[in-house]
Amino acid sequence: MKKFLILGFTLFMFFFKSTATANYDKVFFDFKIDSITGENIDLNKFKDKVILVVNTASYCGFTKQYTDLQKLWDTYKLRGLVVLGIPSNSFNQEKNSNSEVKKFCEVNFEINFPLSTITDVKGENAHEIFKWAKENYGKSAIPKWNFHKILINKQGKIESTFSSLTNPMSNKLINSIEKIL
């Protein structure tokens, strides 16, 4: 019976690992990604900050969340929050070029938080940030749709993930951010 319990617990921990069980060979700050204008963003420049990584898309039903992502950024950036938008066509709902995405975000939502180039967020061609997230946090870190959110703590590890349905200004997300700021 004792062996069965140990085996069951081990399997449970394997399939439902969290930041407490992850063996981080790298942390978020070890990566780089290209900005929407093509410059390289060394994520190490965000060290000791809380990061909200959001895969975005221009033609999604959740696109209106850009408004609240900007509001979140405006409210918490001076306290150490960085909102990082990662436009993606992984779900076939993004514009064709980085310049179109940039213009769309600025004109329609007055976005001024950092945006990356159009980037794959799932599958074999996913950016290494998303492969790292899956490896260290499990399946809940993989975007199942646009506007999936990954909350990174000041140590560069995944604190939590939030589905597309979670509004950026929801109490659930804001409480998680305030707890680690």
Residue with tokens 């979670």: 166
CB neighbour list of residue 63: distance below 8 Å, 6 or more residues apart: 56, 57, 146, 147
Tell me the domains of the chain and their CATH numbers.
24-180 (3.40.30.10)
Tell me the pLDDT tens digit for each residue of 15-49: 444 444 567 899 999 999 999 999 999 999 999 99
pLDDT of 8: 45
| pLDDT at position 4 | 45
Report the SS3 class of residue 56.
strand
Mean pLDDT of the chain: 91
Catalytic residue from among 50, 57, 60, 69: 60
Distance (Å, whole) CA 51 – CA 171: 17
Question: What is the per-residue pLDDT for 19?
Answer: 43
105 annotated active-site? no
Pairing of strands 50-56, 81-87: parallel
Read off the pLDDT of residues 87-138 as tens digits, 9 standing for 90 and up.
999 999 999 999 999 999 999 999 999 999 999 999 999 999 999 999 999 9
Share of the chain above pLDDT 70, in %: 88
- Is pLDDT at 12 greater than 60 in this prediction? no
pLDDT at 1: 53
Q: Which amino acid is at 124?
A: E
Q: Please, are residues 80 and 181 in contact by the beta-carbon 8 Å criterion?
A: yes
